[in-house]
Homo-oligomer: A and B are copies of this chain.
């Protein structure tokens, strides 16, 4: 077997297979330490918030129920010969490094702060001595939560004994490279029950993803029920059972925040809105009964009549109604794939433009500033898709956050315009690519963004490619995305996991990390064994993440390479 020298060395030095994302600074040994049956977690935090206590309780549950065996051929049998003589860890203490002036905030409050105000770093130590006291410290409850997540990834089980094989462990200090580490789910093309979203949020939290981008509506269905606009879901949801009620939204938002995740909701406008025509046909141009291919990239066609003042007011009020009940500082008004032919052929829009004395671009600017103004009134920052700054000539505030999706090449242009950006490029991060064409019955059709975006490919994504050092601060992070034309509850987990964990590491760990004093670049070969591990742990916790290789390979790191 011919391993590359670097990999051979890495394997010999007891890599920490189970950690994902790999901490930015990690020192570890190769001793076995057993989790004491009397193991307990002490929360040394004054007036500890309930969500921190809940996270501690959940961690103890995972330690008891994960029962993950090591991915080696003997599954841990050799390790077990050391159990009797090994030191034990009998306690974990959580403490805050500085509590600041005010009261200790819950995780949920820390998670929804401005990107720049979030404190996710933590310090962790697992000793290999007779004392047996592990520690996690951080500047916030959110940091403590991230530390708990790392702690729970360090343990394996063999015949009832829970242990780690990499003691002592010292992480000083693990901080994320980027503040936005997300996952996007489209709940319009097909609907997902609340339980699916909660399970997804759990899985996200296990890999320290912190932003759930909820593309909640689109042209196909409007599952969001708002007290001010009940008709939109009543007429636009697929069925009355496929609606997110106000309490569902609060449930999801709370569940997310307690797990360190901010919910960025998107109501895509002015395109991708055909279904609004089911309750408000007067607001929609080139509606769904029209031949769609002229007016949209997929059926059905239909866009908001952006030049109509009534439609502008309606949209701004809709955005405001949705945004005001969310704790997030951010809200997306969408803005992708605007079809100008739709407006050119819409007599109402043409009349509106003439009446207002505006070009389409000017009307779009008015429309967008109206929705963004509504967000600003609520103290929130607007988020848009890249066309809003690259294709359209709008007077958007440079506070606006821009999502790059069409191509990874477009990030540089967004940065050149001095906008903060989130990477979600279709050529790296679209999880739906490669599943075939769904429009029509064309036997030669293929996925528009073929091929399938493998974890290996996504893992090579460079957030700073073609971004200057002076622009680097504009890169907030990135996300993998699932558009759901061919997904619903039946294949959510299998299409998302473990692939969506890739960007979790790319944007947490960053380009390089320090391991046992050595600076290492991210390396797909090294990552593969850990990705197996995080996937198996997800399965143990009830997420149907798929295998990335035959089990034979999972058990034999390094033996399934072309050159092995």
Give me the interface of A with B, judged by CB distance under 8 Å.
Answer: 1-2, 75, 188-191, 219-221, 238-239, 275, 289, 291-293, 299-300, 434-447, 450-457, 459-460, 484-488, 490-491, 493-495, 524-525, 527-528, 539, 544-553, 555, 559-564
25 contacts between A and B (CB under 8 A): A190-B551, A191-B551, A219-B552, A220-B551, A275-B552, A291-B564, A293-B564, A299-B559, A299-B564, A434-B435, A434-B451, A437-B454, A437-B456, A438-B550, A438-B560, A440-B456, A440-B525, A441-B561, A443-B460, A443-B524, A450-B451, A452-B452, A486-B548, A488-B551, A490-B539
Question: In the complex, are the beta carbons of A435 and B457 less than 8 A apart?
Answer: no
Shortest distance in angstroms between A541's beta carbon and chain B's nearest beta carbon?
Answer: 12
Question: Bound state CA distance, A148 and B303, in angstroms?
Answer: 47
Chain B residue with minimal CB distance to A454? B436
Q: How many copies does the complex hold?
A: 2
Cβ-neighbour of A525 out of B289, B441, B453, B539 (below 8 A):
B441
Contact (Cβ within 8 A) B293 A563:
yes
Task: Kindly name the residue among A450, A451, A524 whose own CB sees the greatest number of chain B CB atoms within 10 A.
Answer: A451
Q: Closest chain B residue to A494 by CB distance?
A: B491
Give bound CA distance, A210 to B457, whole Å: 40
Query: Smallest Cβ distance from A192 to chain B, in angstroms?
Result: 11
Q: Determine if A435 and B452 form an interchain contact, defined as CB atoms under 8 angstroms apart.
A: yes
Report whether B434 and A436 are in contact in the complex, using a CB–CB cutoff of 8 Å.
Answer: yes
Q: Chain B's nearest CB lies how many Å from the CB of A120?
A: 27
Which residues in B have their C-beta under 8 angstroms from that of A486? 546-549
CB distance from A186 to the nearest CB of B (A): 10
Q: Is B441's CB under 8 angstroms from A447's CB?
A: no
> Once bound together, how far apart are the Cα atoms of A191 and B554, in whole Å?
13
**CB-CB nearest in chain B for A535:** B490
| Residues A487 and B546 in contact, CB atoms below 8 Å apart | yes
* Nearest-CB residue, chain B, relative to A441: B524
By the criterion CB–CB under 8 Å, are B220 and A545 in contact? no
Known A485-B550, A490-B544; further 9 A-B contacts with Cβ < 8 A:
A190-B547, A292-B564, A293-B563, A299-B559, A434-B435, A434-B450, A438-B550, A446-B454, A488-B546
Beta-carbon contact of A2 and B299 below 8 Å? no
- Indicate if the CB atoms of B221 and A545 lie closer than 8 Å: no
Q: Evaluate contact between B300 and A552: CB separation under 8 angstroms.
A: yes
- From B221, B445, B453, give the contact of A551 (CB < 8 A): B221
Chain B contacts of A443 at CB under 8 A?
454, 456-457, 459-460, 524
Chain B residues near A434 (CB-CB < 8 A): 434-436, 450-452
Find out whether the CB atom of B438 lies under 8 angstroms from the CB atom of A548: yes
The smallest C-beta distance from A22 to any residue of chain B, in angstroms, reads: 15
- A452 touches which of B275, B447, B455, B528 (Cβ 8 Å): B447
- In the assembled complex, the CB of A167 is this many whole angstroms from the nearest CB of chain B, namely 27
CA–CA, A457 and B441, complex, Å: 8
Q: Provide the residues of chain B in CB contact with A446, threshold 8 Å.
A: 451-452, 454
Closest to A299 in B: B560
Q: Which residues of B contact A561 (CB under 8 A)?
A: 439-441
Asked whether, in the complex, the Cβ of A440 is within 8 Å of the Cβ of B560, the reply is yes
CB-CB nearest in chain B for A490: B544
Tell whether, in the assembled complex, residue A550 and residue B220 are in contact, meaning their CB atoms are under 8 Å apart: yes
Cβ of A528: which chain B residues have Cβ within 8 Å of it? 441
Please give the distance in Å from A152's CB to the nearest CB on chain B. Answer: 21
Minimum Cβ distance to chain B for residue A338 (Å) = 20
Query: Nearest Cβ in chain B — how far from A487, in angstroms?
Result: 7
* Chain B residues whose C-beta falls within 8 Å of the C-beta of A484 in the assembled complex: 550
Residue of B nearest to A493 (CB): B490
User: In angstroms, how far is the closest chain B Cβ from the Cβ of A67?
Assistant: 13
**Complex CA–CA separation, A75 to B546 (angstroms):** 34
A437, A452, A453 interface centre (most CB from chain B within 10 Å): A452
- The interface residues of chain B lying within 8 Å CB-to-CB of A219 are 552
